[in-house]
A and B are shown apart, each in its own frame.
Chain A
Amino acid sequence: GAGVSQSPRYKVAKRGQDVALRCDPISGHVSLFWYQQALGQGPEFLTYFQNEAQLDKSGLPSDRFFAERPEGSVSTLKIQRTQQEDSAVYLCASRLGTSGSTDTQYFGPGTRLTVL
């Protein structure tokens, strides 16, 4: 498929466990975003990559959250020592270029994380 894919689609973790969420963007897309969507809310920005460079991580809620995109393609969002408040859908989006006003962000289906 040509769209953004994310894995796993669903993840259940016990409080305190570490989790890793994967995003495969559309091939050739330079920009990659992670968003967090809590129940009943809109997606909220977490972090932004341009190729392999993490240019904005202002939305990461704590130092337990870490994201990487080492080769400028696949990205991983890691959450250490998960807490119940981390339960949410984590959405990945990619964009062809670097200009938001001319390019569209395309979203993956998300990973639903439930922390027990």
Chain B
Amino acid sequence: DQQVKQNSPSLSVQEGRISILNCDYTNSMFDYFLWYKKYPAEGPTFLISISSIKDKNEDGRFTVFLNKSAKHLSLHIVPSQPGDSAVYFCAAGGKGGGNKLTFGTGTQLKVEL
């Protein structure tokens, strides 16, 4: 049972435009959410997080929005740059298991010139 879902396996965006990556979750016990970025042959790198008590968190070009009623979050990247091309994983954490993370299956973002 996939508790964190990223339904778009890939996304292509032009340089300078906005990239929007989406994530849905089913477990209402998750109380914080994160986005990780992954390049080939490297481990995931933390990008941005949001607590369940907030609906928006912004860090430079990256903004994460959380809609708890819809159990949906999104990552906005503005403006998109070629170096943003990577796989993006949505992850969720709760209070159990040392706050282990449950990951989605990832979205491959390609930013084209």
Seen from chain A, the residues whose Cβ lies within 8 Å of a Cβ on chain B are 4, 31, 33, 35, 40-45, 48, 50, 55-56, 58-59, 91, 93, 98-101, 104-110
Contacts and interface: CB of A to CB of B under 8 A. Distances in A.
Interface in B1-57: 4, 6, 31-32, 34, 36, 41-46, 49, 51
B29 to A, nearest CB: 13
B51 A43 contact: no
Contacts of B42: 109-110
Nearest to A44: B103
8 contacts: A33-B101, A43-B101, A45-B100, A56-B97, A93-B43, A98-B99, A104-B46, A110-B43
Nearest to B53: A101
A63 B34 CA distance: 31
Interface of B: 4, 6, 31-32, 34, 36, 41-46, 49, 51, 89, 91, 93, 96-106
Given A33-B98, A91-B44, A107-B44, A101 B32 contact: yes
Contact of A42 (B46, B93, B100, B104): B104
B32 A42 contact: no
Contacts of A91: 43-44
Nearest to B102: A45
